[in-house]
Chain A
Amino acid sequence: MSNETEKMTPDLRAFIEEWKDKPGNLIMVLHKVQQTYGYIPREIAIETSELLKVPLAKIYGVVTFYNFFKLQKAGKYIIQVCLGTACYLRGGDDLIKEFERQLGVGVNTTTSDGLFSIEAVRCLGCCGLAPVAVVNGDVHGKLEAKDVAGIIEKYRTLG
């Protein structure tokens, strides 16, 4: 996706130093990587593997096992549509379809302008507000398909 090369930030380097000798540090370090870049960039994974003395293959294995870790940079606005049971029963899958239709991309892909990506997530824990979609931490509850256009518009104007 992105061609720019990410550089390891001093903050991340310090974090790795701090965790280097703790057993079972890999997942905590990967969380920090993703928190820093929004995904796990290949070049950072290579550097992390050297610093932690963990084979790159193992890092790849862990990253691909867990849903939370991403290998590709996501859009500026990440639309997470809840597909927990309560949201599903109240129309969560219709919401996803509507987002996909309006943005012209599928789940786990990013729009060509780099603005939006759609994710289906399992239970955000706001079942009382079902169905729910979260955009960069903002919760939109009790949604219907007709609300989708307004949400997209809101973030598009923000740019």
Chain B
Amino acid sequence: MAYQSYVLICGGTACCSGGADNLVTEFASCLEAAGLKDKVQVVKTGCLGFCEQGPIVKILPQGTFYVQVKKDDVKDIVAEHLVKGRVVQRLCYDPEQATDVVAEANIPFYQKQYRIVLRNCGVIDPEKIEDYIARDGYKAIEKVLFEMTPEQVVDEMLKSGLRGRGGAGFPTGMKWKFAQQQPKGQKYMVCNADEGDPGAYMDRSTLEGDPHSILEAMIIAGYAIGATKGFIYIRAEYPLAIHRLQVAISQATELGLLGKDILGSGFDFEIELRFGAGAFVCGEETALLQSIEGNRGMPRPRPPFPAVKGLWGRPTVINNVETLANIPVIINKGADWFSKIGTATTKGTKVFALTGKVNNSGLIEVPMGTTLREIIFDIGGGIRGGHQFKAAQTGGPSGGIIPPQFLDTPIDYESLAKIGSIMGSGGLIVMDETDCVVDIAKFYLDFTVDESCGKCAPCRIGGRKLLNYLNKISEGRGTEQDIADMRSICDAMNKASLCGLGQTASNPVRSTLQYFMDEYLEHINDKKCRSGKCSKLIRYTIDAAKCKGCTMCARKCPAGAIAGSVKVPHVIDPAKCIKCGACEATCKFGAISHG
């Protein structure tokens, strides 16, 4: 016998500290008293999100969402909601929207996420074309191929305000328009699935969860610009995404949704996969095209833009996975619908891979204009292990590091640029006070130096120089002059590099210099790393009062840096110490510490 109702009590960290455990016992006893013990199941759950309003109680099947529930509120929920079927208005997040009758909550107004790109991810079986078709799949191509001219399709894109999600935010409709206006002949449509940012996996998840949406979007783009051939350039490191794309392409071809004369419309379009081979620079358009052509992925100056001269010299449009996933929805629901979501300059949603020191890491999609605070604290459930928020990093190696004072900035292309970062492809990495900004800047520079193609000097030499300065500072050998030098290298790289990689590679350094100068100065002047990440700056010391002279540490030390005799407090010679931490781990008396 199924239960009549279910009471879900959030058992996330935040809610538990707010007293969720008491609620479980309180519900049990109130239900017992009301004679509902066998009709209602009380369940503790994982984090339901919306942590700042905790403790949270959700009643199923109605889906009523109660916030800040106290022990005293429980008897009212039982008496009113579970017995009489009336919503307890004062406990709803937004009493305005709560109706008097218990009804299915169709609009979970408390939810921060809105999924356009990820609409089918986690819903359909990605290896079944029928599942995609049932959820309005390939409906947009019906409209496009039979009811719209290519010009109308481009106009619809322009009207929607969709901008490229690969990083720079160029209007998609404009790109299409340039390619459309080129003289007729062979043109190409390319999907950029070379997601190379460390810490970003939005595109991979989309391809794995909903491959057909990308194929459908490419058909639409092909029709709009007059291309009959498409390429998906995908990282070889994504075997599952490649497999699912291959399955999807063969299913679509079999049903005649790809190939000659699609659905009898007279339009031909075919798609071929091309594998990347692990070069970050190939995310840059002109380098990507070189790679498809089978060459080393070196960028070239623009103009001419790929829309004029692209693959094998022919007009080519390159859109990234997330951009494309929006397109069937825009066609189905209309540009007006789409352009109502987001901010004045940036329409629609953004998918982020939320990772780092956050409780609920995950793949999330929010309307543009959502703040970092909402993302990190409401959706992400706050910082792990009760630590402090220190900074957020967007845009990967090309992005900047955002300090706490900008947590309430609504996210769009312009506002992120204003605070020294970029939207990028969607990595969002959260850092706490145990992370060192110099170390983080070093991590990103190390990456870009490794990935620089070496064609132009500002990026090749500038990146290396910056990394040398950062190493010097993190080892305690830095000077204040180094900071001034780094600033001018950053400017030179930004202005003189050939492609986006070089132009943005200095962003992690610029933004940390801007917002965390005090930490750089600490490394330089006080030879101190407050988070203990820069190992050369760590100093191990023995507290003479606690040391029993057991000699354990001296015997463990691989560098012979500890001196002392039995039952006499020992001393560490900092000149010999290699900061391995073996002594601290060995000491049974807690006499050794580092700072």
Contact = CB atoms under 8 A, between A and B. Distances in A.
Interface stretch (A9-17, A71-79, A125-133, A150-158): A125-133
13 contacts: A23-B293, A24-B292, A31-B275, A66-B276, A66-B297, A85-B356, A89-B431, A89-B435, A122-B198, A122-B280, A123-B197, A127-B201, A127-B355
Contacts, number: 97
Contacts of B361: 86, 127-128, 130
A85 B278 contact: no
Contacts of A123: 197-201
B427 interface: yes
A66 B356 CA distance: 28
Interface of B: 196-201, 204-205, 236-238, 274-280, 291-297, 312, 353, 355-357, 361-362, 393, 396, 427, 429, 431, 435, 443, 447, 453
A149 interface: no
A86 B355 contact: yes
Interface residues of A, number: 31
Given A83-B198, A85-B396, A86-B356, A68 B204 contact: no
A78 to B, nearest CB: 13
Given A61-B296, A85-B396, A89-B435, A27 B275 contact: yes
Nearest to B231: A24
Contact of A27 (B294, B355, B429): B294
Contacts of B276: 66, 68
Given A65-B297, A127-B199, A85 B274 contact: no
Given A68-B277, A127-B355, A25 B294 contact: yes
A125 B274 contact: no
Nearest to B358: A86
Interface in A95-151: 121-125, 127-128, 130
B434 to A, nearest CB: 9
Given A121-B237, A125-B204, A27 B198 contact: no
Contacts of A39: none
Q: Which 5 residue pairs across A and B have the least CB separation, nearest first?
A: A66-B277, A85-B199, A26-B294, A67-B278, A86-B355
A130 B197 CA distance: 16
Nearest to B295: A62
Given A69-B277, A86-B429, 8 more contacts: A23-B293, A62-B295, A67-B279, A85-B356, A86-B355, A123-B199, A123-B200, A127-B361
B198 A67 contact: no
Contact of B274 (A28, A30, A83, A121): A28
Contacts of A68: 236-237, 276-278
Nearest to A93: B443
Contacts of A90: 356
B288 to A, nearest CB: 12
Nearest to B443: A88
A108 B279 CA distance: 17
Contacts of B200: 123
Contacts of B427: 85
Nearest to A128: B361
Nearest to B294: A26
